[in-house]
């Protein structure tokens, strides 16, 4: 038996264990849940150590002698004072450094790439630049779509603008904005459904095709074993509940 075969069996077993949650919370699922938490935390520790701390701190400071990079380690240790209640307030300096950096670094790209470009490309005359000179059968639908797009963007922005009361023309535009948002959310739900089903199709493909190339025997046997175990747990608990109900009645 190779490591890969053992791996396939373990992966199949754990997949079925996690799927057992569809029945209800049960000991198999809780075992899998705690196992997953332990492993993913260890992976997180490795990720940060091997890909952040080691190349960017240990190698820069102790191998390349760039002592400039000792400062973030100092900030890091300051952050750890949060574990000591008496001096936990010192960790605010580190938090302020990290949050201040985050606040400063996000503004430029948000303004340039998101805000300005998106506003610019909402205007019909910008969208129509690609179809100038095209025949009417292409130009007219593109023109109608550009105008509708612009109107919908403006309506949604008016809906989210709460500084002016939504009455009259503004109210009508805001109402149109809600309808546009309903269509957008409906379309987004359709896409989300696709994504979630695709994930399950991936697991199903693993169980059907990869798990047991010689005949699905292992997956089927394991699924039956887990189902029998769950049914027996359910029946045992039901019998215990019945007994507990009958006892006070007898007394």
Partner 1 sequence: MILKPWERGLLYLLVALAVFLPLIFPFDKWENLPTKEVRGIYDTIESLQPGDTIMIAVDFDPASEPELYPMLLAVLRHAFKKDLYVLGVNLFNPAGIGLGTRAFTDVGDEYGKINGTDYCFLGYKPSMLAVVQAMNAGIANAFAVDAYKQKTASLPIIQRTPKLKGGIKYLVDLAAGETVRPWVAFGSTPGGYPMGAGVTAVSFADYFSLYQSNQINGLMGGLKGAAEYEVLIANKGAASAGMNSQSLVHVLLVLFVIAGNIAYFVGRRRLASKAGGAS
Partner 2 sequence: MVFLRKQFPVVIAFLVGIFTLAIFYIPAKWAVNSGEALNIWVLIASAFGMVLGINSILGFHIEKVSKRRPGFGYSWVLILSFLIMTLAWIPWWRAPEEGSTALYIWGGLENPSGIFSWMYFWMMVPMQATVFSILAFYIASAAYRSFRAKSGQAIVLLIAAVIVMLGRVPLGTALTSWIPEASFLHSLRLEVMTEWLLNVPNAAGFRGILLGVALGVIATSVRIIFGIEKTYMGGGE
Sites for partner 1 among residues 74-133 (CB under 8 A): 109, 112-114, 117-118, 120-121, 127, 130
Query: Alpha carbon 233 to chain centroid distance?
Result: 33
Residue 127 binds: one of partner 1, partner 2, none (C-beta under 5 to 8 A by kind): partner 1
Q: Which stretch binds partner 1 (CB under 8 A): 75-83, 90-98, 168-176, 193-201?
A: 193-201
* Binding to partner 1 in span 211-230, by CB under 8 A: none
Q: Does 51 bind partner 1 (CB under 8 A)?
A: yes
Residue identified by tokens 């209800």 is 24
* Binding to partner 2 in span 4-43, by CB under 8 A: 6-8, 10-12, 14-15, 18-19, 21-22, 30-43
What x-and-dash track marks residues 48-67 binding partner 2 by CB under 8 A? xxx-xx--xx----------
CA angle at residue 109 from 79 to 96, to 5 degrees?
20
How many other CB atoms sit within 10 Å of the CB of residue 8? 18
SS3 122: coil
CB 60 within 8 A of CB 69: yes
Q: Does 246 bind partner 2 (CB under 8 A)?
A: no
Residue 77 binds: one of partner 1, partner 2, none (C-beta under 5 to 8 A by kind): partner 2
Buried b or exposed e, range 141-180, using 16+ CB within 10 angstroms: ebeeebeeebbbbebbebbeeeeeeeeeeeeebbebbeeb
Q: Does 202 bind partner 2 (CB under 8 A)?
A: yes
Which two three-digit tokens encode residue 6? 């053992």
Residue of 62, 67, 123, 189 interacting with partner 2 (CB under 8 A): 189
- Toward partner 1, which CB reaches closer, 19 or 170? 19
Q: Does 36 bind partner 1 (CB under 8 A)?
A: no
* Binding to partner 1 in span 127-186, by CB under 8 A: 127, 130, 149, 184
Output DSSP code: residue 171.
H
- Toward partner 1, which CB reaches closer, 27 or 109? 109
Measured CA to CA, the distance from residue 238 to residue 243 in angstroms comes to: 9
């Amino acid at each position: 038996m190779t490591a890969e075969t053992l791996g396939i069996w373990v992966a199949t077993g754990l997949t079925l264990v996690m799927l057992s949650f569809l029945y209800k919370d049960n000991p198999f699922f809780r075992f899998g849940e705690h196992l997953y938490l332990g492993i993913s935390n260890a992976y997180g520790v490795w990720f940060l150590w091997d890909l952040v701390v080691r190349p960017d701190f240990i190698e820069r400071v102790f191998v390349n002698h760039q002592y400039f990079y000792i400062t973030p380690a100092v900030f890091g240790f300051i952050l750890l004072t949060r574990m000591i209640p008496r001096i936990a307030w010192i960790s605010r300096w580190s938090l302020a450094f990290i949050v201040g950096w985050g606040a400063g670094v996000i503004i430029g790209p948000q303004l340039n790439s998101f805000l300005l470009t998106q506003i610019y490309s909402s205007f019909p005359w910008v969208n129509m630049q690609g179809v100038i000179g095209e025949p009417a059968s292409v130009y007219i639908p593109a023109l109608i779509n550009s105008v509708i797009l612009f109107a919908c963007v403006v309506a949604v922005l008016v809906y989210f603008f709460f500084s002016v009361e939504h009455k009259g023309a503004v109210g009508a535009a805001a109402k149109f904005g809600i309808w546009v948002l309903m269509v957008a959310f409906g379309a987004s739900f359709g896409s989300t459904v696709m994504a979630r089903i695709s994930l399950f199709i991936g697991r199903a493909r693993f169980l059907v095709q990869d798990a047991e190339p010689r005949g699905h025997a292992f997956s089927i046997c394991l699924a039956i074993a887990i189902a029998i175990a769950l049914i027996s747990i359910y029946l045992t608990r039901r019998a215990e509940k019945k007994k507990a109900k009958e006892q006070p009645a007898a007394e």
